[in-house]
Structure 1
Amino acid sequence: MATPTFVYDGDCAFCSSCAQFIERRIPTRARLVPWQFADLGALGLTTEECEQAVQWVGDDRAAGPDAFALLLRDAGRMWRVAGTALRWAPVRLAAWPVYRWVSGHRHMLPGGTAACSLPQAQRDRVADTPL
């Protein structure tokens, strides 16, 4: 089995902080990669998919909270229980609206910055603007 890949928004400070937490605390086999530095074509992903949600690419493919569920299940032990619970229909039904709310408000969460609230196209324009 190939090493799974968890793809997140590397331009978002909140997302990057979450990825650092995962790397420090959750013993997943997955490679965590900002989508801006990933070979999206090789992973079978598009920029639009990555702008919408985090992505899991492994034996299974998933986005958003489903991607987190697979990451947790991959980590084993107690994390597997949390990942399995996140895939349970009633929890999964609630997980997507919560995920969308968090992603829409990530600029206001701990570690977030104003850039986290901008769509990628606007972030690119701001970065290209001369000082």
Structure 2
Amino acid sequence: MAAGVVVYDGDCGICEAASRFIRRHISQVDVMSHREYGVSSLESVWFVTFNGRYEGADAVSRILRLSEKRVLRMSGIVITLPVIRIVARIVYFIIAKNRRRISRLFGLKACSVPQAR
């Protein structure tokens, strides 16, 4: 049984790449695009568990802590440290708001993501 479901923006190139990474390295979770999950749009990654829904950097931290790889687990723990958590949330917000440009920069699809202003 999966520890939870990772829900990502299926219209976002870097989100798609991150979902492939999660599928390869974190077998304890199910991974679905926002459409597969039944959501019309998504501003940040969700991690849905029996205990609730986590979003953004908080979701990333919880997902990483479930990895079989020690370095990923440790990264997830480090993100929970007070100062690091604040920085992680800011960095996540900036990336999420600019994901269209970032996806294009890396040659990834960026079709339906609204452009940040």
User: How much has 1:21 moved relative to structure 2?
Assistant: 2.0
Q: Secondary structure at the match of 2:42?
A: helix
Partner of residue 94 from structure 1, selected from 83, 87, 90: 87
* Unpaired stretches in structure 2, ≥5 consecutive residues: none
Range moving further from structure 2, 92-101 or 12-21: 12-21
Q: Hey, which of these two has a bigger chunk of helix by percent?
A: 1
Structure-2 separation of matches of 1:111 and 1:11: 14
Give CA-to-partner distance per residue, 1:73-122, whole Å, 9 cap, x none: 11143322111111111111111111111011111222444435417xxx
Contact 1:14 1:111 in 2 (8 A): no
TM-score normalised by structure 1 residue count: 0.72
**Is 2:28 aligned against 1:29?**
yes
**Is 2:19 aligned against 1:19?**
yes
Structure-1 separation of matches of 2:33 and 2:12: 10
Q: How does 1:1-131 map to 2 (within 5 A)?
A: 3-24=3-24, 26-39=25-38, 47=40, 51-60=42-51, 61-76=53-68, 77-109=70-102, 110-115=106-111, 117-118=113-114
Q: Percent identity?
A: 27
Letter matched to residue 30 of structure 1: V
- Name which one, 1 or 2, has greater alpha-carbon Rg: 1
Structure-1 separation of matches of 2:60 and 2:3: 16
Structure-2 separation of matches of 1:98 and 1:36: 25
Q: Could you say what the CA RMSD is over the residues aligned between the two structures, in angstroms?
A: 2.2
Structure-2 separation of matches of 1:6 and 1:67: 8
Letter matched to residue 65 of structure 1: A
Q: Hey, which of these two has a bigger chunk of strand by percent?
A: 2
Give CA-to-partner distance per residue, 1:50-85, whole Å, 9 cap, x none: 622110111443100110100011114332211111
Report runs of 4+ in structure 1 exceeding 3 Å deviation: 111-114
* Unpaired stretches in structure 1, ≥5 consecutive residues: 41-46, 120-131
